[in-house]
Each structure stands twice: as structure tokens, then as C-alpha cells.
Structure 1
Amino acid sequence: MHHSPFTTSRTGAGGGTAVETQTIGMELALSQLLSRFDDTEKSIIGVHGLGGMGKTTLLKTPNNELKENTRDYHVVIMIEVANSETLNVVDMQKIIANRLGLPWNESETERERSTFLRRALRRKKFVVLLDDVWKKFQLADVGIPTPSSDNGCKLIVASRSNQVCVEMGDKEPMEMPCLNENESLRLFRSNLMAEVSAAIDHDSDMRESAMDIIQSCGGLPLALNVVGCALACSMDAVEWKQAARAMRAILVEDQSLE
């Protein structure tokens, strides 16, 4: 039977699951990523979506799971690329060298290090997760060998741009799905104190304001978390109405800019 190298449900404290607690409403995205990861013919996996969609959280799940389960891969490396202007090759090389337990030589050039790191990684079955990639870059320039079905290695690329994912090697990248209304409500409530969350069920004004806020967030996990944390301890219906109005204003402004 095929063994999946990482799972989407691991028992955690409090009776729930550790992964589920961190990724409320992201079950569909996790399932899609897992399916692509398990495809032995797919070595490069692209994930694209708007900022605030939860791409970083999504990548952290296999990153954390695979680090604990070393049976399938020798090394798992997650790197925040953030190359909106320039590619910080040295910082990326330091992360790779650190994960491989290799010495760092300041006198080496980027090219010398990339050759050294590629040679070291070729002896490993690896998974590299690249988060927040803004522009295409050559893996070899950093020191990452190209994953393939022959070497069994994997590369996961997260970007706001579908085109960047394509240029990095995934011709059909997956799009991060927005949270639906029920998922949005679950995530929003997870940030609230228990008594505040309960008030949504029996206070019609707070319920109405909560649904207004959720609709205004447009299914974006980051927005839902920010507003949820801001209202975590508030039982003031007026404050909730103000938050709902503020979110509606932001939504209108965003739509006018499109």
C-alpha cells in the first residue's frame, strides 16, 4: 500500500489535531497539495494565490510533518525567498548549508558555494519549499539540483503569481481556494475568547456584525485572523458594528482599485 510521507491529521493537545488547529478551513488546499505531492510523476509543485490566502501556512504543514518523518526524505528545507526586488542568494545558501550541517566559508563566492551545495544535495533525497517567490530564478544559482522523478526529490513553490509558478517548472500549478462562509466563520471564531464566540450564537447584533465582517474579508485567512484577534475579548456590539463598517469600507476601496 502506498505510504504518504505526511498527513493532514495528527493528534494534538486538547483533543483536536495539531495540524487542524493551525489550518482551520484549509482542508481542501491541504488535500490538493497532498494529492500532487503523492504523484510520483510530479516533482515541482506550484501554489499560487493572493496575499493573505494562507500559502505560508499551507507550506509549513508538509515542512513540519516531513521533518518529523525522516523515513521518506533525508532533508527538508523551507526558504522564504521574498525576491520582489533582488534574490538574496547568500541568505538562501546559508539556510541550505545549515540544514545540511555543512561548514560556512565566507571567502567562497556564490558560484563556488552553489556548486558545493548542489553536490551535497545530489547525495540526498530532498524536499525544498520556496515561499513568497516573486520572480523566476535558476535553482542552480542557489545550489539546488532540479528535482525529477528519477531522483525522487520534490520542490514546492508558493507565489502570488500563476506565471511565476509556471516559469519555475509547474505547468499546471494549483490555486489556493478562498474559504467559504462556514470555514471563514470557524477561523474567525477560533481567534475569539470562548464567551465572545458563544455570544455570536445568542446575540443577533453580534451575529449580524460577525457575518458582515466575514463577507468583507472575502475568504482571506489573514484578514479573518487579524480582525478576530482585534475583537477577541470584545463583547461590545457597537465595537463589532464599527469593525464591520471598517471592513466594508476596505472592501469597497479594494474593488475600486481593481
Structure 2
Amino acid sequence: MESVSAVIHAVLAEPSKIIWNSIRTTIKNFRNRESNFKDLEGETNILIQLKDRVLRKLGVQEQTERDRLQHEVDIWVGKVNELEEQVNKMKSSVRSSGGDVAEYDLRCSCCVLPKLCRLSNQLVKMMERVKHLKEAGESYAGQMSLPEQLIPVEHVPGAPITGQKTASINLTKVLDKLKDDKVRAIGVYGMGGVGKTTLVSNLNNKLKQEPSANSFSIVIWVTVSKDTNNRKIQTRIFERLKLEVRNEESDETVTSRLHERLTNEESFLLILDDVWADIDLQKLGIPEDCPRSKIIITSRSAEVCRQMTTEDAMLMVGTLDDEEAWELFQKHSGEVAMREDIRAVARDVAKECAGLPLALVTVGASMKGMSDVRLWENARTTLRMSAPDIISIEEKVFKPLKWSYDSLPDEITRSCFLFCCLYPEDFEICVEELVRYWCCEGLFHERLNYKEIENRGIAIIRCLTDCCLLEKVDESYRKIKVHDVVRDVGIWIANSNGSQCRSVVRSGIQLTRITNEEFSHSFHA
């Protein structure tokens, strides 16, 4: 009998234990239903925030990585949304019953206990679902790397316009247009060297220095130049966004990637500097449905700005009046221009620059420190006599700049300057490499050793930068560049040597040979 009892006890012990544990768990859940409900609300909110974080990270992933995870993430997001909907329904029912979870969905006293038990168990199961969904979400988030933190605005080198009345007024006008919700694209146009790039670089740097004035999550600066294409512009934008453009990608793929990435940006300002022809922004991949984002275009052509913006969103940058021109010229020529015996001639020299800021800066710097009035008189005469055989606008630009070239100390320096003009527009020239090229081309006539060649090259570069015919990219003089208008003047000079050899310049297009037509045209031009 005892053995039978032992067998019965052994048979019933385990089920009894299971039943008791279940009852005890149910009682525990019943007692903790209010705290469990609050925990469920809190954990669900955390899960929703995790969902948003996963989707944001997925949106900035490279295409291949996004394609790999998209399907799984979509399924996970669907489950999170379903759970969120169930929790919201439960919260709504609780609020309709007076806000007490103890009275949740109760209609009659005879079924109070079963309903509360079901609620208690449901809360626990939903908490388990939240836990599993959070683990899955953290796993997805962990598989996706965040892009490198982007600086909202990068500094762009440019001369400050502090104290310049006209430039400051133009800057205010552009800032006002940026705040206008009706304006999407702003066109800034004017002749070469008039100060368009200087104006917009000051705007860019103002947004950097005064974050309160910047409503954009990122400002992207792209120098377009004459010899360019959509792929080059897209590559520069991708570089700013710390992304890569792969050579094997089609134009359509790159455009789609750029469009998607900029769409995910809260708001952006795209500055396209020195645009020579109409750019189809849609083909470039610039989204149109971003109301808070803006585009600024600078160009020598009003027609280009007209095609890419609207008439009321255009700003013409004109030349300076005589007084502002004189102030800018005097700033760069120094105190010598104010000497009593030189002032009148210096004013005449400044007038020959026709209010063009680039010419005023270049010629003014060339005259700095010249205390002999005869040098100023010679400058005035030379400027008045120089008459390039080109269209009127270029004539106003080339005439003063050519004098700066003529005033260089020797033929070697002039040849070295013309060599720099062979590089493509806005190309950042490595100084060390440039000096080696000069040497290999035989521009240095003296027999010099390597160190002497390096020193001579640096001296020439400093001379050319001091005359504002070259611009230094960095303070250490490791790289220099030629302003595009100055480069145009250099090419024109190279093609205007009379009986001397003419030059054919076609940079940036991987030219391997010169056609007979090109050669004949350059010879008879």
C-alpha cells in the first residue's frame, strides 16, 4: 500500500508543482498589474525610439548595406507598429474606465476576476514581446555604422568684406532671400573678378561663425568651374557628406543615391560657385521636395542664373563706385598712395581698374611700397595704353591685370606665371611639384643645384602671390592656385605674343593630340 501511495505521490507531484507555480505566477502578475502596465508603457516608448533610430541609421547606409538589411528591418518595424497599436488600444480603454488599470474593460462585477487575470497575463506576454523586439532592434542598429560626424559648415577661404558698404548690403540681401520660404534657388551674377565668390564665401563663413544665423543642418560648397560635368559635382558633394562614389556605378545609381541622401537631410544649403552653363539639378540628384533647403548659384552669366532660379531670386554684383574703389585700392597699395605727390596719380591708376575688385586688389598690391611718382605715372600710362583685342567685358578685366603681369621683375617670373595658367581652373597646384616642372621645362636658365632650385622656385611663388597673380591655398605655401580671371588673362597673353610662339590651352580634358583644325585656328587667331 505504501508503495502504491508513493507511486501516486510521484505521479501527482510534478503536475501539482507546475499548477502551483502557474497559480503563484498568476497571483503575482495580478498583484503587480498596475506597475506592469506602467513598465509596458515605458518600455514601449523606448522601443519606438529605437525604431526611429534604426530607420535613421538605415537611411544613411551605403546602398549595398541598406539592401542587405531592408527586408528584415521592414518585418521588424511591422511588428513594432503592431505592438504599439495594441498598447495604444489598451491605454485608450484604461482612460475610458477612469484611468485605473484595476478597472480595465470591466462591464459587470461577476466577471471582474477573470478579466483582471487575463489582463495581468496579457501584460506579461506583451512585455516579453517588447523585450524580444528590443533585442532584435539593437542587433540591427549594431550592424549599421553611423557615418562620420559632419561639420555643419566648413570654412571657405576668402577676403573679408568688413567695412565694405556695397558688399555688406549684398550680403544682407542674400541672407534675406535665404529666409524667404518662397525662394528655393538664389542666383548671384556679375562679371569675372567682381566679387561674387568673395560675397558668398563671406556668407558661408558667417553661417559658421554665427550658428544662430544658420538654419541648415549642413552647408555644401562646390566650385564648379568651366570644364566640369555632373559626375565631378556629385563626387564633390559625396566627399562633403563623407561618402564614396564608386567608378563602376552608373550615373543613374549615383543620382539616386545622392537624391536619397539629401532627402534624409533635415535641411541643406548647396552653394554652386562659378557656374558657366545651366545645370539640371534634377539630373544631378538634388531633391525638389525639401522646402527648408536652399541653393545658391554664382555665375558670370545672368542667363545661367535665370535658367536655374527665378527672376526675383537673382542678385547682380556690380563694380564699386569711385570712392569704394579708391578705399579698396588704398587698402592694398598702402600708405604710399596717400602721399601728397602721388595721391592724384594713384587715384587715376585706381580709376583705370574700372571698379573691379580683383583688378583693384591686384594692381594695388603691385604698387605697394613704390615711392617714386614716376613709377605711378608709368603705371597710369601703361594701363591707359593697354587695349586687348577682345570683347568689352574682358577688356575691362584684362587691361589692368595685364599691367601686373608686365610689371613682374623678369622674364623667368613671367614664364613661370604663364606655366601656372596651363593648369585647369581652380586646380590646387602642389608647389613642390610645380617647381620641379619649371626646372624640367628649362625655365630656370642658371645652373643651380636642387636646394637652389627649390629656393628660387619659392621666391618666384612668393613674388607672384604678393602681386595677387597667384593665391595660396594654405599658410605653409604647400599649394597655390590661379584665380580663374587671372588665368584667363594669362592664357590670352600666351596667345597674343605677336611673332612669338602661340599657345593652345585645353586643360582638364585629357587631350592627347592637337587636331589640325585647332592648330590652324590658334595660329590665325
- Fold conserved between structures, TM > 0.5: yes
After TM superposition, the score normalised by the length of structure 1 is 0.80
Q: Which of 292, 301, 312 is the aligned partner of 1:161?
A: 301
Structure 1 CA distance for aligned equivalents of residues 164 and 255 of structure 2: 35
Higher helix share: 2
Aligned to 1:134: 276
Determine if contact 1:45/1:155 at 8 Å carries over to the other structure: yes
**Of the candidates 175, 192, 200, which is equivalent to residue 337 of structure 2?**
200
Within the candidate set 126, 135, 152, 2:292 is matched to 152
Q: Which of these two proteins has the greater Rg computed from alpha carbons?
A: 2
Aligned counterpart for 1:73 among listed residues 203, 216, 225: 216
**What SS class does the counterpart of residue 286 from structure 2 fall into?**
coil
Q: Give the aligned partner of residue 375 of structure 2.
A: 239
SS of corresponding position for 1:26 = helix
**CA offset at residue 24 of structure 1?**
7.6
Q: TM-score, normalised by structure 2?
A: 0.41
SS at match of 2:382: helix
Report the Cα distance in structure 2 between the residues aligned to 1:244 and 1:28, rounded to whole angstroms: 31
Q: Which has the higher contact order (CA 8 A, sep 6+)?
A: 1
For the aligned residue pairs, the C-alpha RMSD in angstroms reads: 2.7
Q: Partner amino acid for 1:136?
A: D
**Which residue pairs with 1:82 in the alignment?**
225
4+ residue stretches of structure 1 with deviation over 3 A? 18-25, 250-258
Q: Is the Cα contact below 8 Å between 1:49 and 1:160 reproduced in 2?
A: yes
How far apart, in 2, do the equivalents of 1:152 and 1:92 lie?
22
Query: Which residue, out of 289, 299, 317, partners 1:176?
Result: 317
- Code of the aligned partner of 1:175: M
* Matched residue SS, 1:76: strand
- TM-aligned CA distance change 1:24 to 1:170, over 3 Å: same
Which moves more between the two structures, 62-71 or 224-233? 62-71
2:185 is the alignment partner of 1:44:
yes
- Unaligned segments of structure 1, at least 5 residues: 1-5, 7-17
SS at match of 1:203: coil
Alpha-carbon distance in structure 1 between the residues aligned to 2:229 and 2:173 = 30
- In the TM superposition, residue 249 of structure 1 has moved relative to its aligned partner by 2.7
SS where residue 352 of structure 2 aligns?
Answer: helix
Tell me the distance in 2 between the aligned counterparts of 1:65 and 1:39. Answer: 18
Task: State the partner residue of 2:331.
Answer: 190
**Runs of 5+ in structure 2 lacking a partner?**
1-152, 154-158, 397-525
Secondary structure at 2:192 match in 1: coil
Please give the per-residue CA displacement for 1:170-206, whole angstroms capped at 9, x wherever unaligned.
22311112111121112112213xxxx33333323x1
Q: Which moved more, 1:38-47 or 1:115-124?
A: 38-47
Question: Counterpart of 1:191 in 2: which secondary structure?
Answer: helix
Could you tell me how far apart the structure 2 residues matched to 1:133 and 1:23 are? 25
